[in-house]
Each structure stands twice: as C-alpha cells, then as structure tokens.
Amino acid sequence: MPVVHVHITKGATRGQKEQIVREFTGTLNSVLGKEPEYTHVVIHETEEESWGFSGMLTDDFRKKQG
C-alpha cells in the first residue's frame, strides 16, 4: 500500500488537489503497478510564514521576488 505525502504551502484549490491525487495515483499505477484503490495521497498544507528555505521564510522570499 503506497502512501505519498505532498508538502505544499497553502493556497492550492480543491481542483488542483484533485489533480495532484489523480496524477500521483496514476504514476504509481503505471510505473510500479500499484492498484489505485490501495494508494493513499496525503496533502500537507503549511502557511508560508511557517516554511523556510534559502535562509528565509517563504512569505518574505515571495515579497522580495514580487
């Protein structure tokens, strides 16, 4: 039973999440032969102010880019 954890910053629409689940499930099926009914996809959403990379918080990085 594959379990895929996807970590993203908040803001994805329900439709985008549905697409993520559908496409990850399809990839595991086509590449590894895993049955969709046994594949789980968990989407973890994190506030931008709680995610950091490159030495800064994501919200500050996006402000700097914007």
CB neighbours of 42 closer than 8 A, spacing ≥ 6? 3, 4, 5, 6
- pLDDT of the residue at 57: 96
Domains in the chain, CATH or no CATH each: 3-65 (3.30.429.10)
d(CA 35, CA 53): 35
- pLDDT score recorded for residue 8: 97
pLDDT of 66: 84
Report pLDDT digits (tens) over 32-66.
999 999 999 999 999 999 999 989 999 999 999 98
Quote the pTM value. Answer: 0.85
Determine the pLDDT at residue 63.
Answer: 93
